[in-house]
Structure formats: C-alpha cells, structure tokens
Amino acid sequence: MTTAILFVTNDAAIVPPGLAKVAKVTNSADEALSLCAAFRYGAVFCDAAPLANGGSGFRLGRQMRRHGISTPLFLMTSSIMSGMEGVATASGATASISRTATAILDALKSVGNAVTGSGLPGPLERPLPEIDIVIERARIILKKYAGPVASMMVDDVLDDLYPKYPTGIAVDVFTQAVASHVSGDKARADFLAELLV
C-alpha cells in the first residue's frame, strides 16, 4: 500500500499527476503540522515561500522536528539559491528542491522505502546543538517578557537570521536578535542574564 504524500503549497497544480491519488494538499503550515502529528506521510513537500497565515516551510520544519515528527521534509523553491541547502537543513528539512515534478519525484526516490514503508516515524536520534538549546530556552524565558506571542517572535527572528547565516547562526547573534524584542534596558539585561546561564 502506498503512503500518502503531503503538499503544503499555495499552488496545488505543483502536484505531479502521478501522485494525485495519494496527495493531500494544504496551504497552511499549522494544518500541515496537525496532519503530520495525526497521520503517517511518506514525505512532505512544502513551499519555502510564505504560506497562508504567515507560515513558511522553514517554520514548519522547525515545528515538525520540535514535535518529534521525522517525516522527510523537502522545501520547494522556484530557484535554488546559493546556501539554500544549509538554510533548509538548519530549519529541519531533509533538503531543498526546485518546484518541478521531476525534482519532486527524484526526492521521493531518495527517501526510498519511506513512501511505501509502514510503521510510525521515531524521534530524531541526535543531540541538540547548543543553538537549538538556546532557542528553546528563549521560547520559555521570553514568555515572561512578551507573553504568549514569544514563540512566534522567536520564529520570526529565526526566519530573519537563517538567510543571513546559511552555515549556522551563532548563539550571540541569536540572543541579541531575540533580546531586541524585550522592551527596556533593564528588562533586556535581565532576559539575557537568564537566557545565558
């Protein structure tokens, strides 16, 4: 039995005709995350460009990995830019590909049995790099200073930084960018002191 393939895109016409019967299409990163948590997909193909409700493929990748969803994720772009692969991988994607039927089919071949295999995907078996630990701490600590929108603020900071630092974001660069969302010098200093213990 063939496993379904999830497409997260504003352009449903991107789905190759041969996959139409097994494709589920949404234009919302939030809905895609819910679908991935509830169902087993062989792969997810997501536009890197902005989606409905301000989501993006980069944000979806980070959210999937944070929730332990290890389904292969391919970020689709109209043109592959220099450094895009590093940005895609840093955000949790398997790879970035061009928005063509050939690239999609090649990506499916690259994951092999993931498309026809069965069973539930397991969590990623790798330790978190220091920056990932700091990012998660920032989400928690920033809530004291910015309220319930803290996680979205962190995602916005990451969306801004990934293109500027395709080989990886330094901890100090990230912390200063997040701290800029905290109002007042004293509060900002307290936030940084708590974050960088």
pLDDT tens-digit readout, 146-187: 888 887 888 788 878 877 876 677 888 888 999 998 988 898
Q: Are 36 and 68 in contact (CB under 8 A)?
A: no
Q: In what order do the strands lie in the sheet with 5-8?
A: 23-26, 5-8, 43-47, 73-77, 95-98
Q: What is the pLDDT of residue 166?
A: 66
- Taking 50 as the pLDDT cut, the residues of the chain under it are 1-2, 113-128
Token pair belonging to 112: 């092999």
Tell me, what's the pLDDT at 126? 36
pLDDT for 84 equals 61
- pLDDT computed for residue 121 by the predictor: 35
pLDDT of residue 83: 56
pLDDT of residue 81: 57
